Structure formats: C-alpha cells, structure tokens
Amino acid sequence: MSQAAPLNAPIPSPLPWQRDAWSRLGTQWQAGRCPHALLLSGQPGLGKRRFAEAFTAMVLCESPQQGLACGDCRGCKLWRAGSHPDFLRVEPEKEGGPLKVEQIRQLGGFVGRTSAREGARVVWLAPAEAMNVNAANALLKNLEEPASSVIFLLISDAPSGLLPTIRSRCQTVPFPAPGEESALQWLRDSGLEGRAARSALAVAGGAPLRALALAEPESLELREQFLADLAELARGASSPVVLAGRWESPGEGCDLSELLLFWQQWLVQLLRARSSDSGVDEQVGVFLQRLPGAGREGLRPLFVFYDQLLQARQALSSGANPNRRLLIEELLIRWSRLYA
C-alpha cells in the first residue's frame, strides 16, 4: 500500500480525448452528485491513470480554477509532495503482482476516520482487476456501506476481470480510443510522426500513450526480437521450449503481461489483413504467407489463439500467480501449431 506520488510532480490535466468524460464527471462533482465509487476502464495506453491523478488533485484542491486543481493551495502542495492525509494509493506490492486481501482490509482505518482537512477523501486502487476473490469481497464491504465523503477510484485495463458485484456498485467511466487523426496529432505534438507514428498506433490498438512508449528504442528492439522469434517458430526453425526461457521475463520496461498485450495487438493486425483486400504491411505479409488455410475457416484458428492470449493475460493479473515459464511455453507451442 502506497500513498506517495512523485515528489513535486506537476498537477496533471486531462488529455484531449478525455474532455467529454472530464466535463461529465466535473459537473457531477460540482453539483455534489459524484458517486462514491468510480470505475475508470479501457485498454492500456489511454491515460486512465493521468485522468485519475487530475481528478484526485481537483477533489483535494481547496480552490479549483476552471474545473482543475489550482496547484498553489496547501491541498495541492500536499498532494504534489505525496503526503496528503486524505489520499490513499493502493497498488500491488510488486509490479505485476496481486492486490492482496490484507491491503484491502487495511482500508478500514483510512475509510473510518474523518477527513484531516474537512473535505473529500480519495482511495485509489490500480489495477483493480489484480484483486483476487478474497480481496474483492473485502472491498465489497466498503462499497456496500460507503463512508461519508470517501471516493473510491478503481482503475482497470480489464474490467471483465472484476466481480460483477464490484462493477455494479461503481459508476463506470469508459475510455474509448480516440479517433486516428486526434491520436496522430497528439503523437506529433509529442515528437512522433509519420509512418513511425502510424505503425506504433496500429500496434498499440489506437492507444496514444502506449504508441509513444512502443516507439522508444528499447521497446522497439524488444518487439523486433520477439517477432523474429515468432517468425522462427513459424518456419519451424526454433523450439518453443527454448524460446520460453527467453521470454518468461522479457526485460526492463516490459513484463510478460505487456508482451502478451503486444502479441494480441499484433494478432489483430494479422486478422485484419487476412480478412481484407487492402494493402498489407511487409512484416505482416511475411506471417500471412506461411499461414495455412483460407477464407473464414482460415481465420478461426487465429481467433481461438487470440482468446488464449486473453486468458493468459487474465491469469497473470488475477493474483493466481501462474507458472510464467509454462504459460509462455504453452502459448509458443500453440503459435507454432498454427503454422503446422
């Protein structure tokens, strides 16, 4: 359990494609109708955490300006220093690990006391789908009997991994991907443009922040190596068992769940290319040429494999702590069978 934001971090603001969601939620807050639990949901790379940071800062601000935190009051200074007594951040103790029931039970002390500054208190849980059943049931007790002035912010890349009883007690704030031109404009403003921007955005499933991260040299090199290994498997020139040892821990800046997400989004490109007569990216074409089958029947194994990747990611985020080596090994074996 952590309460610290980056020391002296700037006060964030919503991203351009979040304006409608921000306006709706801001109107509810100003009217005193803000729900006690919000579920911010959408694929990774759309800025849900930044939105949550901006909303938290605004809620804890003593004199918001034009619907945003002022950045100068004592509440803003405490938040920026990571020491606001009315803010509690609950995250896995280890990256990629579960949110434990002990962490959720400790919420009682924070939720049960009165505000230190006579205002709202905010509990941040991310990623919410990292709670196992016991942790989710412990949270459910807090959501069923909400304390006065407490707002729960649940942030989730995979809300289907949450108990229905949790989802039903939250107001969902969905984050769809922005339109392509809007996303490309933001990427241009962030220093990424042209073919590199379009390619990264396609691999990122339309998520601009993820596209920007994927364009970093280290990330690009890792993805190229992974695709080269997948191509080796497609040709029958390498062993899934050997490659599993390389990819069970991909490396700094990318965990196994991130790698599987990239694999999913790459598979989406294969599916689109195979079901369309439009131009095919050269790298995608290499994989398509080796795939057996044609027509709808030829698509079916790819859809099945997509579901298997999704299930693997859910297993990693569920707190069940699967054997990572066996998980990636099984997926690589299944991938090689697509080309048998």
**Between 139 and 318, residue with greater pLDDT:** 139
Q: Stretch 156-178: mean pLDDT, rounded? A: 94
The answer to whether residues 299 and 276 touch, using CB atoms and an 8 Å cutoff, is no
The answer to whether residues 296 and 191 touch, using CB atoms and an 8 Å cutoff, is no
Q: What token pair was written down for 64?
A: 């918001």
DSSP string, 260-280: HHHHHHHHHHHHHHHT--S--
The verdict on domain 216-338 having CATH code 1.10.10.10 is: no
Average model confidence (pLDDT) for the chain? 88
Parallel/antiparallel/unpaired status of strands 87-90 and 121-125: parallel
pLDDT at 300 over 70: yes
The answer to whether residues 149 and 120 touch, using CB atoms and an 8 Å cutoff, is yes
pLDDT at 177 over 90: yes
Q: Stretch 228-235: mean pLDDT, rounded? A: 92
- Number of residues that this document lists for the chain: 340
Give the Cα separation of 232 and 173 in Å (integer). Answer: 42
Query: What residues contact 155, with CB distance under 8 A and at least 6 apart?
Result: 40, 48, 49, 52, 124, 125, 126, 127, 128
pLDDT tens-digit readout, 76-102: 999 988 899 999 999 998 877 889 999
* pLDDT value of position 295: 64
pLDDT at 9 over 80: no
Number of H helices, E strands in the chain: 16, 5
Share of the chain above pLDDT 70, in %: 93
192 CB-contact burial (10 Å; exposed 0-12 / middle 13-18 / buried 19+): buried
Lowest mean pLDDT, pick from 185-189, 200-204, 281-285, 335-339: 281-285
Do domains 16-174 and 216-338 share one topology? The answer is: no
* Band of pLDDT at residue 8, cut at 50, 70 and 90: low
Q: Stretch 133-149: mean pLDDT, rounded? A: 88
Q: Stretch 164-182: mean pLDDT, rounded? A: 95
Would you give the distance in Å from CA 282 to the centre of its chain?
A: 29
Question: For residue 123, what is the enclosing H or E element?
Answer: strand 121-125
Handedness of CA 278, 279, 282, 286 (dihedral sign): positive
Q: Could you tell me the pTM of the whole model?
A: 0.80
Annotated domain spans of the chain: 16-174, 216-338
* Band of pLDDT at residue 299, cut at 50, 70 and 90: confident
Pick the CATH number of 16-174 from 3.30.1330.80, 3.40.50.1240, 3.40.640.10, 3.40.50.300: 3.40.50.300
Q: Stretch 143-167: mean pLDDT, rounded? A: 91
pLDDT tens-digit readout, 27-57: 999 898 999 999 999 999 999 999 999 999 9
Q: What token pair was written down for 135?
A: 């942790």
The CA angle 292-305-231, to the nearest 5 degrees, is 55
